[in-house]
Amino acid sequence: MLAQGLNDQVGEVRAHRARALRLEDLKRVDDAKREWQLAAQGWDSLGDGPGRVEALGRLGELSLGSKAEEADALLEQAITLSKEEKQRPLAAAGVLALLGDRLLHQGNLARESKLYNPNLNLRISGHLARLMRRVGWTT
């Protein structure tokens, strides 16, 4: 892999993410889960919370069919990590919202509702309000 040869850690993690997405498209669940796990580890080592939230969430989503307890633990880990994200909280919340939409479309209503945590939404609202004030959209 070119990213490995160049010692491009971000490129390497993005390659794992891209492979995971393609493997999901091909319905190669076990291979996709392996790539999401590598992506989660990579984002963790780089300190990228939103990337890790996505990887853990997608890993949890892929585990729903075969390992419900593992899936729930991974989704809870993604939620907790998102709540604790300090550098890019809106990005982490956005990842959770997208994951919630995916679960909703799959009919996983109980799990989807966990991803729309009211405390998290209040935090997002506060960040959005500050951002909107900063750019002049509201007073």
Mean residue pLDDT of the chain comes to: 81
The model's confidence at residue 98, banded by pLDDT at 50, 70 and 90, is: confident
CA distance 88 to 44: 14
The fold adopted by the segment(s) 2-135 is 1.25.40
pLDDT at residue 48, rounded to an integer: 96
What are the structural domain ranges in the chain? Answer: 2-135
The model's confidence at residue 59, banded by pLDDT at 50, 70 and 90, is: very high
The proportion of the chain whose per-residue pLDDT surpasses 90, expressed as a percent, equals 45
The proportion of the chain whose per-residue pLDDT surpasses 70, expressed as a percent, equals 73
pLDDT at residue 46, rounded to an integer: 97
CA distance 7 to 20: 21
Q: Among 112, 72, 12, which residue's Cα sits nearest to residue 20?
A: 12
Task: Go through the chain and tell me how many residues it has.
Answer: 139
Task: Tell me the per-residue pLDDT of 68-82, one tens digit each, with 9 for 90 and over.
Answer: 889 889 988 998 898
The model's confidence at residue 62, banded by pLDDT at 50, 70 and 90, is: very high
CA distance 78 to 31: 20
For 5-14, 15-24, 115-124, which range has the lowest pLDDT when averaged over its residues? 115-124
Task: Give the three-class secondary structure for 104.
Answer: helix
Higher pLDDT, 92 or 7: 92
